Structure formats: structure tokens, C-alpha cells
Amino acid sequence: MLLPPALEQFLDLLRCPMCRTRLHPDRGALRCPAGHTFDIARHGYVSLLTGTRATSGDDADMARARDRFLSTGRYEPIRQAVARLAADTVPEQGAVVDVGCGTGYYLAGVLDQRPGARGLGLDTSVRALRSAARAHERAAAATWDVFRPFPLADGVADVVLDVFAPRNPSEFHRVLRPTGRLVVVRPTGRHLAELRGQVPAMVTIDPAKEQRLHQALAPFFEAADTEQVEYATSLTRLEALDLVGMTPSARHLNRADLDDDGLLPHQVTVSLLATAYRPRGNGLRTERGLEGDRGLEGRPAGGSA
């Protein structure tokens, strides 16, 4: 199997998750000097996870629902906000890492704005990574769990994206260049309020989310710029079903419970905050800091928004 071009472009930044040495291609896999081997799937992503596999992240139905919903353009304003916050930081030949990348929708939006940049999406969901590996010609994809040390060298990323995903602040800090930016997107309490109001089993948004985010990031980052994105968007019934189906709420709902035509709203409010953070130069790279985001759009461990 030929090495996917996007993955080849990222090889110099990747490290073996077992021994932290560099990886090289070898007969349809990546291998380190110690002989640790990681298969490249026929769909184009590389399987870097070892040991006990993470069980969270999108399953096949969730990934398909996400693909369909994002293709409607209903979340395009979110993708544009992410691209704006990242654009000023990514140099022409820069590197963008999307942690909990899902289908690669947001990573592709950033790469569209920077023609020479390269991207890497990390996620636990194999089904989502099949889409992420082909989301953009310059986007590589790999299986990974956000709660483990990332398979990347120190200080190699110009931007780290964390869109509706759990967070590992110390690892974000470690892999970012001192001049880099962390872009974090999270919902406000008004996000999809109409949907949550009519579907009681929907996962709620923790009102302490912002406080927890600040506490987790403060030792490593300071906020540089924040955009609030809020708008109303209409939904067809199928779009509403996909919107429910792509969130963690899908694990708590029976599709038959949504057969009532009056249950799903025809319009919802999209409301979120997108913040670009600059790394603090305080030498905390060796500390571990984990902050899960398990709200309505939260993605345990691997991610997928």
C-alpha cells in the first residue's frame, strides 16, 4: 500500500507512541527503529493506539449522521469562525493538529484558508477517521485518545484545534510552538435549547463548563481572542434526526422515541464560544492536566464534532 501523501507530509512531526522515536514507512505500515509497527488502514488513516483501546467516540451510525448533517452547511458559520481564529497563526508551511477531529470538517476548513499548511486529525473513532482521511488532500488522520500523551514531537504544531472535544491542556501546551495558538470551541447554555427542551433525554450542558475550562487551561494558556457565534437555523425532520444522532445523546435515545412528528423542532439556536489561546511560557510542559467536555456536543476521549 502506498503511503497517503498527507501522512507522508506529517511524518517528521510524528513520534512512536511506545518509545517516542521517529517513524518511517515500511510495507503498508509505520515503524520505529525499535520495531514498533502501526498499520495504515486501506481507508488512509494510521492506527497508532496501542494497549487497551478507547471505547468512546463516534460509532458508525453517529459518524454517518455527522457526515450527513455537516454536509448541509448548517454549521458552516462555526467552521468559518474556527478558520478565522487559526488563520493569523498558521504560516504558509504550518502544521495544524485537530484533537477529536471527527470527520475532519473543521480541520478541512482551516486548511482551505492556508494553501501550504498540513493537517493531522486525531480521534478514537475508526468510522469517523475514514471520512477525516479524505476530508482534505493535506489532512492526515490517526487513531488516538486525547487522554494519552500525543504521538507528536514537542513544539511542532502552529495551531491545535479542539472543537466540541475533551481537552488535555498539558499536551496541547507541549506540542504547540511558543508562538502557536489553541482554538477551543464549546457550546453556551443556549446551544440547541429548542431541541433539548423537546427531547428530554438529550444530554444537558453543564452550567459550570466555562469555569472548569478556565481552571483547566489557566496554568498553560491565556485567552487571546474570543468570538461568539449565535444564529438560528431551520431544520428538516431528517436534519433534526441527524443532529440528535451525531451527539452523545444518541446513546441514550431510541430512534423510535423520535417518531412523533411534533417532537422535533423545525428551528434551533446554534450558540457557542470560540477562543484562541496563546501558550504561557511558564515551563509547565511536564505537568498533566486533563479536562473532559461531556456536554451536549461533548465527545468523550476521542471526539467527533
Per residue in 43-54, pLDDT (tens digit) is 999 999 876 555
Domain count, the chain: 1
Percent of the residues in the chain that have a pLDDT greater than 70, as a whole number: 86
C-alpha cell at 12: 517528521
- Beta strand spans in the chain (E): 24-25, 29-31, 37-39, 46-47, 95-99, 118-123, 139-143, 157-163, 176-187, 221-234, 267-279
Inform me whether the pLDDT recorded for 298 exceeds 70.
no
- Domain annotation covers residue 291: no
CA dihedral 139, 141, 145, 148 (to 10 degrees): -70
- Domain annotation covers residue 303: no
Q: Binding site residues for Zn(2+), as ranges?
A: 16, 19, 32, 36
Coil, strand or helix at 266: coil
- Domain annotation covers residue 67: yes
- Domain annotation covers residue 186: yes
Q: What angle do CA 147, 148, 153 make, to 5 degrees?
A: 125
Non-local CB neighbours of 174 within 8 Å, separated by 6+ positions:
149, 150, 154, 155, 285
CA 259, CA 264: separation in Å to the nearest integer? 9
Q: Binding site residues, as ranges?
A: 16, 19, 32, 36, 75, 103-104, 191
Q: Among the ranges 228-232, 287-291, 299-303, which has the highest mean pLDDT value?
A: 228-232
pLDDT, mean of residues 193-222? 88
- Domain annotation covers residue 169: yes
CATH number at residue 29: 3.40.50.150
- Domain annotation covers residue 235: yes
Q: Binding site residues for S-adenosyl-L-methionine, as ranges?
A: 75, 103-104, 191
Q: How confident is the model at residue 259 (pLDDT cuts 50, 70, 90)?
A: low
- Domain annotation covers residue 202: yes
Which pLDDT belongs to residue 88? 83
Which pLDDT belongs to residue 208? 87
pLDDT, mean of residues 120-128? 95
Per residue in 154-192, pLDDT (tens digit) is 999 999 999 999 999 999 999 999 999 999 999 999 999
Q: What is the residue-wise DSSP string for 210-247?
A: HHHHHHHHTTTEEEEEEEEEEEEEE--HHHHHHHHHTS
- Domain annotation covers residue 284: no
Strand partners, 238: none
Which pLDDT belongs to residue 227? 97
pLDDT, mean of residues 125-133? 94
Inform me whether the pLDDT recorded for 293 exceeds 50.
no
Q: What is the DSSP letter of 151?
A: S
In 10 A of CB 232, how many CB atoms? 10
* Domain span holding position 133: 5-279
Spacing of C-alpha 290 from chain mean position: 15
Residue 288 CA neighbour count, 13 Å, CB half: 6
Closest residue by Cα to residue 274 from 89, 47, 84, 72:
84
**Residue pair 126/143 in contact by the 8 Å Cβ criterion:** yes
**How far, in Å, are 94, 176, 182, 212, 291 from residue 167 at the CA level?**
22, 14, 11, 11, 5
Closest residue by Cα to residue 82 from 194, 187, 196, 161:
161
